[in-house]
Structure 1
Amino acid sequence: MTAGGGRGAVREDWLLGEVARRAYGRVGGLALLALGQTALVLLLPYALGHALDLLLRGRAAGAWVGACAAVVAAQFVVGATADVLSATTTAKSAADLRRRAVQHVLAAGEPAAATGTGDLVSRMVGNAADTASGPAAAAALPATVAATVGAIVALGLTDLWLAVAFVAGAPLLALLVRRFARVSSDSVARYQDAQGRIAARLVEALGGARTIAAARTEARERARVLTPLPELAAQGRRMWHIQGRATAQAAVLVPLLQILVLAVGGLRLTQGALSVGGLLAATRYASLATGIGVVVGQVGALVRARAAARRVAAVLDVPELPYGTGRLPLAGPGAGAGTLEFQQVTAVRGGETVLHGLNLTVPGGACVAVVGRSGAGKSVLAALAGRLADPDDGIVALDGRPLSELSRDELRDAVAYAFERPVLLGDTLTDALAFGRGPVLPGKVVAAARAARADEFVRLLPDGYDTAPAGAPLSGGEYQRLGLARAFAHPGRLLILDDATSSLDTVTELHVARALLEGQRGRTRLLTTHRAGTAARADLVAWLDSGRLRALAPHGDLWPDPDYRALFAAAPEPAGPAGGARS
């Protein structure tokens, strides 16, 4: 479910409501505890005033003094319980919201945050925590309002003129709170957006730290990362200015209201209409009724939660890939199993059409290399081929079944991927190579590593296949070989390599190409590449030109075309269709 399911409600309000509904028991308990604490707070001034009046009259007041002590003790117990419940509710809601966001991002196919990985992390960590704090603040707000209203009513019950005096200035307090909420909302949203932009640029810089160091562009990159910092600082100062101005205004208004109530109370005391204990109670009720600081704090928390919820909801708004219930026809030993078809496929990325009505058939069991200039749509085609994303128009089908009609398990069991920059997931290299939906026997992991020319360097590591991926000193080419081994280790009728051999040296690439052609027979292989040697060893070459299929033919048939040779920076002509042209 996405935040768009709010049926007309503002998406951030819908998400806050959804978070509250998923923790309705705890939020309801918080609201009851807050109301109970408010009742005790309102009861204490009356009990103190009555005890004081009894003592001034020389009467026994032990029972009322004991009642005051009991109320104070109850306040402590209820307050402590509410604090613990509020903290655990926020923590559990944040964990649940992050879990849902992670699951949604992974189910969405392509990366869900167009603004970058760092911004996505910012939304799913800091903003999720702020969003999760919203229900607890909302649960406490009615009790805070009830304390103010109750204190005004108590003033009226103590003496009607006290309530009249307070109500005369109360509208100014209400206007102060309303203005604070309206003005601070925009500032908080801008502050969080600036934080996200800094996080996105920082993650990019950390990923390219070696490149930055080699180019000696540290100062320029630091300036780029911190470009949003002035806006962040400006919005931070603006938030403090707004809060400071509200506090200063309250610091003037609140004492004036309290002095007004006390003046009226003193006058009523001299007239004999109010007792000393009543004046003590009125003083406390006036303080409760002007509790603007508590209200501003809770309103501020709700403003931050709502602004954060907008950013988290934007992540949840990215549509998930819907799956069907269909199955592929049984794959037999004959030709045709694994036939991949693109039928009038159009794909738009960043507002630009990357693939234009593409028609392409990859024969079952064949090895097809996809080539083209940068931006021709090779990686987008590879993503669509295994349904990491859906086309904007047209159909992608495997063995006659549209990918969108297949069940998730059926599709993922049929397709294996290897990427240019593989990520190794798992506690050990064995776990990383076996990573997938189904189990992979250790013997098959080793065989796949040998086919990808990874077994030799893995065995040289201190713990061999038990080495933790994060602690393995691996080069870019070694990472690619492990990514290839992971794809080789998993069964399936379609194997997709998205520029997965770009970092391999010529000799290793030759061995891997042989394993790909000979050791993966029976599987359809689709690989994007910039290397003439890789294209030469494939059965067919799909030549993309500005998002369209310019040709589908063997490499040797295309080589005489100067435009085709130019794709590989005028590499020497290979010995033949299956020759070893160098890249």
Structure 2
Amino acid sequence: MTASRLVIRTVRYGGVWASLLAVTSLLQAGAALVLPAVLGRAVDGVLGGSTSLTWPLVYAGLVAISMTGDALTELSTGAGTAAATARLRHLFTRHVLGLGPSAGLPPGDLTSRAVTATADTAYAPSAAILAAAAVVPPLGGVIALVLLDPWLALTFALGLPAIVALLRSFVRDTSAVVGRYLEAQSRIATRLVETLAGSRTVAAAGAAERETERVLAPLPELSAQGHATWRIQATTAGRSTLAVPFLQLAVLAVAGYELAHGRLTAGGLLAGAQYAGLGSDIGPVIAQLGRLARARAGAARLAPVLDRPTPAYGPASLPGGPGRLEFRGVSAASVLDDVNLVVPGGGAVAVVGRSGGGKSLLAALAGRLADPDDGEVLLDGVPLPSLKHAELREAVGYAFARPALFGDTIAEAIGGDAETAARAACADAFIRRLPLGYRTPPSEAPLSGGELQRLGLARAFAHPGRVLVLDDATSSLDTVTETQVGDVLTRDGRTRLIIAHRVGTAARADLVAWLDGGTVRACAPHRELWSDPEYRAVFGE
């Protein structure tokens, strides 16, 4: 999807407010076109000695219509932009979450796009409608000049190329500058999120000043592009300020000549002067083109992310089965190479290997948090891509080394039978010590790394699926707690794939899959592998 196509798509998001804006803006444009003619008729009537109030009343009515349209235009512009912003943010957020880990961009950058780029792109509906409406008075003014006197129209037409060139350069330059501005803004957001995530490290290292400088390093670029935007607007406004009066003066001079020779009335001269002003009034057009340029720059930030395909899911449901997980010839990310591994239904397989050997990648493949480049992963004989999304997510539960908690309370973050799951994860005691116990909001719970991991384990234990994947989920637990959790895992009847770094975890598993060089070097009980010194070296023995 190109930025232009996304802008066009966004125009439809204005909904009923966009329709109202189209009606009111066109009414205003129509009133603006008719006003000079009505005024000219009124002037001619007064000069001709007429006492009729018809034309003055029509003029007053048109002014009232224009004022009402202006108020409704402001209302519909604000409401339509808000509706388009909400729609775009929903679309972008849903797509990013659908991409999951494959989004491939830093959180700060994605946040910047979700907040700023969507707001900029949402100007598209109102800007497109108002830009179209803003063109009506100038075009109508030219047509009116033709009807009043062809010489007036010819005089005006001689100045049109300069105005068109001015508009074209404005749109081109504004789009480029706004794009660079948004990129600089995104770099600041990305660095800030990274620094906030490591705020304890920054404080411990006394690196606050250095990190401040690093985060704000793109600020001069941001300032430069902001100033460039204002310079473009000022330059365009200055040129139009010089060009428009000269054009109006030329038309007025020709109108005076025509009046002197009896080919134009006084009212016609007044109307001609006003129509020349309408025809050369490109200020509203410039304003809306500026908004469209900003919308297009925002869309250029959103489109590359929206173009990334989310994982496709099939129509299949899982048959009844014990949760047999099978990796067939799996290669992924230039890390795993032709991995063949069977995790028996109801069994526990610990995956061990050196750092960077692909253990976490294998765990991600087990529940389709990532897809292999080659080969396939099957659950009870069904390839994972063939399964319905809900079916797969219900079948496979995860616990991570650094879990994130979502929900209004600790109980909601765990889910299911929260208390039973928390007891299994050795988390019940410290949860009850929290200010509101299980009703404590996660954001208000002072948790250590080990406590956070235990809540992640509790959530995994509460998951109803047939497969449980633990990706280094006990690394922050003390030895006693890790043993207690390990005993629970040993008794769990589900299929378990456990990324292990400790000897005790490997020893409690039914089988150990030893990853070495991106492939499974051996798969056997821990006691059989322990005689191999290279296997012992994985644990630093």
Deviations 1:263-308 (A, max 9, x none): 2222223333333322222222122111222111111111111111
Match of 2:301 among 301, 304, 311: 311
Alpha-carbon offset, residue 21 of structure 1: 3.4
Q: State the match for 1:51 in structure 2.
A: 42
Alpha-carbon offset, residue 61 of structure 1: 4.0
User: Does structure 2 retain, via aligned residues, the 8 Å contact 1:115–1:200?
Assistant: no
User: Does structure 2 retain, via aligned residues, the 8 Å contact 1:323–1:406?
Assistant: yes
| 1:202 and 2:175 aligned | no
Q: CA distance change for structure 1 residues 357 and 224 in 2, over 3 Å: closer, same or farther?
A: farther
Partner of 2:335, secondary structure, is: strand
Deviations 1:42-76 (A, max 9, x none): 11111122212222333214221111111011011
Which structure 2 residues correspond to residues 408-557 of structure 1 after superposition, within 5 A? 408-434=389-415, 440=416, 444-518=417-491, 520=492, 522-557=493-528
Q: State the match for 2:88 in structure 1.
A: 97
Q: What is the aligned residue count?
A: 541
Q: State the match for 2:536 in structure 1.
A: 565
Alpha-carbon offset, residue 219 of structure 1: 2.4
Return the letter of the residue paired with 1:99.
Answer: H
Q: Distance in 2 between matches of 1:567 and 1:311?
A: 44
Return the letter of the residue paired with 1:407.
Answer: K
Q: State the match for 2:201 in structure 1.
A: 211
| Gap runs ≥5 in structure 1 | 4-10, 332-336, 435-439, 572-583
Which structure 2 residues correspond to residues 285-300 of structure 1 after superposition, within 5 A? 285-300=275-290
Q: CA distance change for structure 1 residues 212 and 561 in 2, over 3 Å: closer, same or farther?
A: farther
**Segments of 4+ moved more than 6 angstroms:** none
Q: State the match for 1:8 in structure 2.
A: none
Return the letter of the residue paired with 1:365.
Answer: G
Q: State the match for 1:355 in structure 2.
A: 336
Q: Distance in 2 between matches of 1:32 and 1:55?
A: 34
Alpha-carbon offset, residue 419 of structure 1: 1.2
User: Does structure 2 retain, via aligned residues, the 8 Å contact 1:356–1:548?
Assistant: yes
| Gap runs ≥5 in structure 2 | none
User: Does structure 2 retain, via aligned residues, the 8 Å contact 1:51–1:277?
Assistant: yes
Which structure 2 residues correspond to residues 392-411 of structure 1 after superposition, within 5 A? 392-411=373-392
RMSD: 1.7
Q: Distance in 2 between matches of 1:225 and 1:284?
A: 53
Which structure 2 residues correspond to residues 100-499 of structure 1 after superposition, within 5 A? 100-112=91-103, 114-331=104-321, 337-348=322-333, 353-434=334-415, 440=416, 444-499=417-472
User: Does structure 2 retain, via aligned residues, the 8 Å contact 1:28–1:139?
Assistant: no
Partner of 2:217, secondary structure, is: coil
Alpha-carbon offset, residue 111 of structure 1: 4.9
| 1:85 and 2:70 aligned | no
Q: State the match for 1:574 in structure 2.
A: none
Moved more, 398-407 or 543-552: 543-552
User: Does structure 2 retain, via aligned residues, the 8 Å contact 1:118–1:203?
Assistant: yes
Q: Distance in 2 between matches of 1:554 and 1:93?
A: 58
Alpha-carbon offset, residue 31 of structure 1: 2.6
Deviations 1:185-210 (A, max 9, x none): 22221211221121111111111111
Q: Distance in 2 between matches of 1:154 and 1:374?
A: 78
Please give the TM-score of this superposition, normalised by the length of structure 2.
0.96
Deviations 1:301-331 (A, max 9, x none): 1111111112112221121111112122213
Q: Distance in 1 between matches of 2:217 and 2:354?
A: 33
Q: Identity across aligned pairs (percent)?
A: 52
Q: CA distance change for structure 1 residues 216 and 530 in 2, over 3 Å: closer, same or farther?
A: farther
Q: Distance in 2 between matches of 1:174 and 1:103?
A: 41
Q: Distance in 2 between matches of 1:22 and 1:184?
A: 24
Alpha-carbon offset, residue 247 of structure 1: 1.7
Q: Distance in 2 between matches of 1:86 and 1:559?
A: 71
Deviations 1:145-179 (A, max 9, x none): 22111011112222222211111111100011011
Deviations 1:210-229 (A, max 9, x none): 11111112222222222322
